[in-house]
Amino acid sequence: MRGTPGDRPPAAGGYDAELRRHNEVLRRAAGVGLHDHVLDIGCGAGRTTRDAARAARAGSALGVDVSAPAIALARERARAEGLDNAEFEQADAQAHRFPQERFDLVISRFGTMFFDDPGAAFTNIGRALRPDGRLVMMVWQAGELNEWDVTIRRSLAVAGGPAAGAPGGPDPFSLADPRAVREILRGAGFTDISFTDVHEEVHYGPDVAAALDWVRGFTCTSEVLKRLDPAAATRALENLRAALAAHLGDDGVRFDSRAWLVTARRS
């Protein structure tokens, strides 16, 4: 269910706030060095790219994303923070012609699950890494292990309506199987591949109204609602509102989640 918030411009703090705890895990694992040149795949509004740029003060960070609104916002925020070593490009990392052997490190925070051809994409990304360069990415584990996905699917599965996971939408769990991911990465020229379980909560907003607005923007959520008749869509939204309210705590609406931190090196 969760992959991108659709084609709308990123909400202020939305995605970064949702994944605040995951961001810290990724930042520690990446261990960006002072002189590193970093490539950030699926950078969104650029939070992870800007973090990398601050750590690589004598190096650089390039963030790429297919969303033009996200890239525009990322550039704006980098300028506001005075990060001259952070750059952003609207690009599909599967086919974009990156400079070969340019980067010391490739990072991604849930930005690699939507490639049409993962093998071709990671081969292309691998070419951009110098020999022995590192890949550090975070991807979702299986949907049934993610409370947020289970809850949203159940809320949308109203009587007579299509399932939330109906074909045609993006699959945020396409890299959930370590065996399959290991084969993809090995075929793309990576070695020393490892998986670390990441068990952190996602934060959907300070209150139910904000959380509902955020979740309605998820691509698969919005597509399901479009396919429902008006009465069914209303019931689905009420179900979703009640589910979000049940997860409201002192610091907002939170759900359990499970992800993989995947690390590898270019052989």
Confidence class for position 15, pLDDT limits 50, 70, 90: confident
pLDDT at 56 over 70: yes
Query: Which range in 23-27, 225-229, 233-237 is most confidently predicted, on average pLDDT?
Result: 23-27
What integer best gives the mean pLDDT of the chain? 91
Q: Work out the pLDDT band at 11, boundaries 50, 70, 90.
A: very low
Residue 22 near residue 138 (C-beta atoms within 8 A): yes
Residue 208: both structure tokens together: 């139910």
- Lowest average pLDDT, out of 34-48, 105-119, 165-179, 252-266, goes to 165-179
Percent of the chain with pLDDT over 70: 91
Q: What is the pLDDT of residues 88-120, one digit of tens each?
A: 999 999 999 999 999 999 999 999 999 999 999
Per-residue pLDDT at 219: 83
* Range 227-231 average pLDDT: 89
Domain at 14-142+171-205+254-266, CATH class: alpha beta
Share of the chain above pLDDT 90, in %: 82
Q: Which two tokens stand for residue 173?
A: 């769990």
